[in-house]
């Protein structure tokens, strides 16, 4: 049996801000993108383009599209000629010596787009490949927000869907390593018993910010009780929760309710049993449905 792999997905929101927009309008947008797989040069000699955009269902385009983001690294234009003893930052060696059909350091990232949800789900990390969410956003912004497409489809907004951190989400983390709570004085009109207790303690002791930190033992995870869960809820309402979790890849992640981070969905799969192409379609639909349902 093959070892399970982990693939990370990011979610991009694509909005057409024009009166009368329907799912068919988004279908038309992607049909336009199919006509021109233009390459976008970005920083650090990255070149990206969409390729092989195809309908999920030829008979019902509203089901969405699949495809790939292709990334390659171009050659630098900063060269030093030892024979001439001079530096030339403008010489395009790629055009002079390398065929245009050959691309350096190719990487492929599958994506799926759902017109009904206006969301694009794209791989950003799996064993062989990795792309930053900011690079993906930069590429899609430059690709889609053009004068030509906006003249046809109206104002276009492309943004990364952020992770929404709730008290319930923190409390249900199974691999919590650390939780730090910062609570400012509660001010609810109808305070709970816990809010009354915390406020009384803070008032009696001249406390401006109430803090509590829980740290799991080495090689262990926190097993928080209801009291801590209630404190977490209080901190999300009147302060900040900072916490550490161990993700599916065994890496420690720092998270905070005070910061906006991209939503990253991690999925483990067995490549012997599951095809990557169909995995992103199934999981992508689950992701956009969960976002829509809150």
pLDDT single digits (tens) 57-83: 999 999 999 999 999 887 666 666 777
The answer to whether the CB of 15 falls within 8 A of the CB of 118 is: yes
> Is the pLDDT reported for residue 294 higher than 70?
no
CA-based nearest residue to 41, from 184, 190, 143: 143
Please compute the mean of the pLDDT values over residues 172-176 and round it to a whole number.
94
Return the structure tokens found at 252: 């420690």
CA-based nearest residue to 232, from 178, 163, 288, 183: 183
pLDDT of residue 293: 75
Q: 3-class SS at 4?
A: coil
Banded model confidence at residue 20, pLDDT cuts 50, 70, 90: very high
Residue 294 buriedness (CB in 10 A; 0-12 / 13-18 / 19+): exposed
> What would the DSSP string read from start to end of 68-117?
EEEEEEPPPS-EEETTTTEEESS--HHHHHS-TT--SS-EEEEEEEETTT
Who contacts 239 (Cβ-Cβ below 8 Å, separation ≥6)?
A: 181, 182, 183, 184, 209, 210
Q: What is the mean pLDDT of the chain?
A: 90
> Is the pLDDT reported for residue 44 higher than 80?
no
pLDDT of residue 271: 87
In angstroms, how far is CA 144 from the centroid of its own chain? 18
Q: Give me the sheet containing 209-215, strands edge to edge.
A: 209-215, 176-184, 239-246, 252-256
Cα separations in angstroms, 32 against 152, 156, 232, 237, 257: 10, 14, 47, 45, 39
In angstroms, how far is CA 86 from the centroid of its own chain? 44
Lowest pLDDT segment from 4-8, 86-90, 288-292: 86-90
pLDDT single digits (tens) 237-279: 999 999 999 988 888 999 999 988 999 999 989 888 888 889 9
CA-based nearest residue to 119, from 264, 11, 277: 11
| H or E element that contains 213 | strand 209-215
């Amino acid at each position: 049996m093959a070892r399970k792999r982990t693939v990370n997905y990011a979610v991009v929101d694509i909005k057409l801000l024009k009166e009368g927009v329907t799912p068919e309008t988004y279908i038309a947008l992607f049909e336009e993108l199919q006509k021109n797989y233009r390459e976008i040069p970005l920083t650090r000699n990255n070149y990206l383009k969409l390729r092989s955009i195809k309908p999920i269902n030829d008979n019902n385009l509203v089901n969405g599209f699949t495809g790939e983001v292709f990334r390659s690294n171009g050659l630098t234009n900063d060269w030093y000629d030892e024979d001439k003893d001079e530096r030339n930052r403008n010489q395009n060696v790629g055009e002079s010596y390398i065929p245009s059909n050959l691309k350096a350091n190719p990487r492929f990232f599958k994506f799926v787009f759902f017109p009904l949800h206006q969301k694009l789900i794209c791989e950003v990390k799996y064993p062989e490949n990795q792309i930053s969410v900011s690079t993906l956003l930069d590429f899609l912004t430059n690709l889609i927000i053009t004068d030509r497409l906006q003249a046809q489809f109206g104002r276009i907004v492309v943004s990364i869907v952020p992770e929404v951190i709730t008290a319930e989400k923190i409390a249900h983390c199974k691999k919590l390593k650390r939780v730090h709570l910062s609570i400012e004085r509660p001010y609810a009109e109808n305070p709970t018993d816990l809010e009354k207790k915390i406020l009384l303690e803070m008032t009696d002791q001249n406390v401006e910010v109430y803090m509590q930190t829980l740290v799991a033992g080495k090689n262990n995870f926190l097993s928080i009780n209801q009291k801590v869960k209630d404190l977490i809820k209080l901190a999300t309402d009147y302060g900040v929760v900072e916490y550490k979790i161990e993700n599916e890849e065994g890496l420690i992640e720092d998270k905070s309710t005070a910061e906006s981070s991209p939503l990253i969905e991690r999925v483990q799969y067995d490549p012997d049993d599951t095809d990557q192409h169909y995995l992103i379609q199934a999981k992508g639909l689950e992701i956009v449905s969960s976002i829509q349902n809150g």
